[in-house]
Structure 1
Amino acid sequence: MLIYEDMAKKSLDSFIFDASRSSTLDWPRRFHIIHGIARGLRYLHHDSRLNIIHRYLKASNILLDKDWNPKRSDFGLARRFIGHETGVNTTRVVGTYGYIPPEYALHGLFSVKSDVYSFGVLVLEIVCGMKNQGFLLIWEIGGLKLCFAWRLYNEGKSLELMSSSLGASCVESQVL
């Protein structure tokens, strides 16, 4: 049985993907959330007595308390590693497509790097305010395409991905 404390703000996805509510998430608040998620992953991967790979990191599994502090939820797919074990190969791929790294989706290989990939996708979603829609090269209304984000990065135009709701609150060096 899992018991969660009251998460007054509910899940992160209910803010970043909702046009009317996303304006309540200025850049300092988004940066605070990103930093909190990163600290939590560091704890799971390095500082915990058990080395844990979450494998289900996505916006709907990040809960927010009344002070906008993020808490990871849904550890149903989490995997504990013992000793010097760093990864595993499986024939059963689980998770949400769009957050699953290619090496896991294609070959069943997962490790702490899988959570880092999911974290990167999540950061992109937090910055741009759009749900990841996969690996395609094109930009379609309603979704972020990772290859498009990569292309903008290579062209030095990463700030074009930033949500318009961030406006004047953004600190460009942090967003980049």
Structure 2
Amino acid sequence: MATAQSETKRYLIEEKYLSLDNRFTITDDSGNIHYKGNSIFFAIGDKLVLTDENGNEVIRIRQENFHIRPTYRLYSARLDGTERQIALIKRTGPLRQHKLEISSDNGEYILQKQGGVSSKEFTLINDDNTIALITKDASPTKSFYWVDIKDNKENHSFILASVIVLACVERSPSGHILMPR
């Protein structure tokens, strides 16, 4: 019989501050690359494409402009080049709380910081169930997000894209991003 620990899948999201193209690399705990997050340049707001290890588009992340609070939409990329919205993500609560409300095809989620202002731990919750635990670690040139997804029935690319939105919101004190880094 499998234990709850054996069902947990760990990913590492590495955000490179000074990279011109590949801003996010997502690996498993063995170092195998699963996804990459690439910026679209000269765009107002964050625009990223999450690709799988073969370079196929999986999810598109778009920041909406002209909102009081940061607002993002996630789109599922299709082989024919069309996209379908799969989630709307909005930052709510006090500025430093970094609480994200996620309305998706799979239900309602909350991604929020645990502990005080200096805490580096977050949880992703759906229907009072913790879906993922996220821990942030940063250096002068990179941020790292350890993502432990507790249930392999969940859509991992969707969860990882939601953590990328968290990284985008955290980058700026106001939460607004004008140009990709």
Report the TM-score range of the alignment, normalised by the length of the smaller protein: under 0.3
Give the TM-score, by structure 1 length: 0.27
TM-score scaled by length of structure 2: 0.26
Higher strand share: 2
